[in-house]
Amino acid sequence: MTDPQTLYQELIARVSKATLLQSCGSVLSWDRETYMPVDGNDHRANQLSLLAGVAHQWATDSRIGELLDQLIDSELADAPDSDSTVNIREIGRTYRRARKLPQRLVEELFRVTALAQHHWAEARKTGDFNGFAPWLSQIISLKQEEAAAIGFSDDGEPYDALLDEYEPGASSADVAEVFDALRNQLVPLLDAIHGAERQPDTSLLSRHYPVAEQAELGRRAAETIGFDFRRGRLDVTTHPFCSGFGPGDCRLTTRYDESFFSSAFFGTLHESGHGMYEQGLPDEVFGTPLGSSVSLGIHESQARLWENLVGRSRSFWEHFFPSVQKIFSQALSETSLDDFHFAINAVNPSFIRVEADEVTYNLHIMLRFDLERELMSGALKPFDLPEAWNTRFTSDFGITPANHSEGCLQDVHWSAGLLGYFPTYTLGNMYAAQFFDSAAEQIGDLPSLFASGDFAPLLAWLRQNIHQHGQRFSAGRLVEVVTGNPLSTQPLIDQLNTRFRPLYGV
């Protein structure tokens, strides 16, 4: 009998090596979105498909199953929340899931999505859904195959199998229930805001904001809240994202619109929130569950917390507004802090999810969640997506997209095969609100700190309570450990009411 410690070390070495190879793929994916020349796409697809295939092979090597079988009853797996128990638990979960996916399907998904993203980007430019539809069709088929291979409970649905990848333990029915509850509380708030006499002047955000100055400001803001540029970068892409390559290297991207202030600025804060989570994961256990993020919902909570709960607060702007006003003196010299703060918190139905306000944002997610479930169940055919999107959008928001670029083509996710991903955004909003309440309670006067430009105590709290744990706790348990309560819609709803009702005087 080999001793458990030796077996455990082999397990960790194997899993870390697979993660290291995956992280090479992250570099290639990042380059594809940022700097790759247009004709490099086919070769890049071949490269990514090879890396994904080999990483999958390594991560699903039956030797890992043997090691897990031998370790599961050892003393290394019997102390809940201990390093080795956590790693064995989470490696086992991922391994079992991955073993269900045939190598061929994994490679095919990588190949198709690499090409599809290219066609999506073209289609998004022209608004021509038909150029993308055949790719979406292929992707849905492959994801249905994936869901069938993963499996789901008898009273479940194919979508559950996908959701579980991003938010382990969540089910479609549970999410649907939470979303319904949220919707019921959002609609009255929205109605009140819609009927308010006081409305912000959002036109001030659409004045002339030169790109170079926006880039400089965004970088400075990211640095001020705590993103470490020695360990990361900020670049430009069509669709903003954050990709943590591993210790010391985390890449953020954003996009600039010289006629709209909010897009790049809040996008940068958002991705910085993701990036600070990545930078806060413990380096020394890179490649293992203890060095990895918990779930997409928790990841998103870090982004939304910095973007909205910090970045749209009045105290944040008490610190930043004077210098922003100076940088964009042409646009903002006559604007007051109050008017600016009201404008960046404007609530209005709009077409683009990533530019939506905090109140309607969750309706964008619910729409995608419902359409995804239908695409996966087969109730909605990919070619019928534009009509379904526009119908639902009109009913939820009272406005109709003028073209598909501001409709069903706006997001990169489906072209990248990321179905089941969208609901984690709204879960992230809920986690963020609940975490933020606890942070405020434990740290003390956050608004004063923000107003003086001091964001370090909040970041230290997040590092201490969330980042450093990696996957030690599941998302659900993490919320309980950190906040003392299970996840609830209440903190989010309370915060939205507390912040938006006074602004609009309703």
Instruction: Tell me if 285 contacts a second copy by CB under 8 A.
Output: no
Count of residues making up the chain: 506
- Shortest distance, position 196 Cβ to a second copy, whole Å: 45
Write the DSSP assignment of 449-482 as a string of letters. Answer: HHHTT--HHHHHHHHHHTGGGTTSS-HHHHHHHH
Instruction: Tell me if 212 contacts a second copy by CB under 8 A.
Output: no
Write the DSSP assignment of 196-262 as a string of letters. Answer: -S----GGGGGS---HHHHHHHHHHHHHHHT--GGGEEEEE-SS--EEEEETTEEEEEE---TT-HH
Which one of 49-57, 133-141, 169-177, 318-326 is the stretch in contact with a second copy (CB under 8 A)?
49-57
Instruction: Tell me if 235 contacts a second copy by CB under 8 A.
Output: yes
Instruction: Tell me if 354 contacts a second copy by CB under 8 A.
Output: no
Tell me how far apart the alpha carbons of residues 205 and 335 are, in angstroms, rounded to a whole number: 11
Which one of 39-47, 106-114, 153-161, 304-312 is the stretch in contact with a second copy (CB under 8 A)?
39-47
Question: Which residue is associated with the tokens 């455990």?
Answer: 8
Interacting residue with a second copy among 11, 21, 67, 189 (CB under 8 A): 21
Tell me how far apart the alpha carbons of residues 80 and 91 are, in angstroms, rounded to a whole number: 15
Instruction: Tell me if 216 contacts a second copy by CB under 8 A.
Output: no
Instruction: Tell me if 213 contacts a second copy by CB under 8 A.
Output: no
User: Catalytic one among 271, 278, 300, 358?
Assistant: 271
Instruction: Tell me if 51 contacts a second copy by CB under 8 A.
Output: yes
Instruction: Tell me if 383 contacts a second copy by CB under 8 A.
Output: no
Instruction: Tell me if 291 contacts a second copy by CB under 8 A.
Output: no
* Residue environment code for 45-67, b if the CB has 16+ CB neighbours within 10 A, otherwise e: bebbbebbbbbbebbbbeebeeb
Angle at 414 between CA 411 and CA 419, to 5 degrees: 120
Instruction: Tell me if 248 contacts a second copy by CB under 8 A.
Output: yes
Instruction: Tell me if 20 contacts a second copy by CB under 8 A.
Output: yes
- Shortest distance, position 352 Cβ to a second copy, whole Å: 28
Rounded to an integer, what is the distance from CA 281 to the centroid of its chain?
16
Tell me how far apart the alpha carbons of residues 53 and 72 are, in angstroms, rounded to a whole number: 27
Angle at 492 between CA 489 and CA 493, to 5 degrees: 80
Instruction: Name which of 248 and 486 has its Cβ closer to a second copy.
Output: 248
Which one of 45-53, 100-108, 109-117, 129-137 is the stretch in contact with a second copy (CB under 8 A)?
45-53
Instruction: Name which of 21 and 221 has its Cβ closer to a second copy.
Output: 21
Instruction: Tell me if 247 contacts a second copy by CB under 8 A.
Output: yes
Q: Which has the closest alpha carbon to 250: 494, 453, 482, 30?
A: 30
Interacting residue with a second copy among 230, 333, 498, 502 (CB under 8 A): 230
Instruction: Tell me if 50 contacts a second copy by CB under 8 A.
Output: yes
Stretch 415-454: interaction string toward a second copy, x if CB under 8 A? ----------------------------------------
Whether 66 is a known active-site residue: answer no
Instruction: Tell me if 277 contacts a second copy by CB under 8 A.
Output: no
Whether the CB-CB separation of 360 and 399 falls below 8 Å is answered with no
Interacting residue with a second copy among 35, 69, 399, 403 (CB under 8 A): 35
Whether the CB-CB separation of 304 and 428 falls below 8 Å is answered with yes
Catalytic residue list? 271
Q: Interface residues with a second copy (CB under 8 A)?
A: 17, 20-21, 23-24, 27-28, 31, 35-44, 46-47, 50-51, 54, 228-233, 235, 245-249, 286
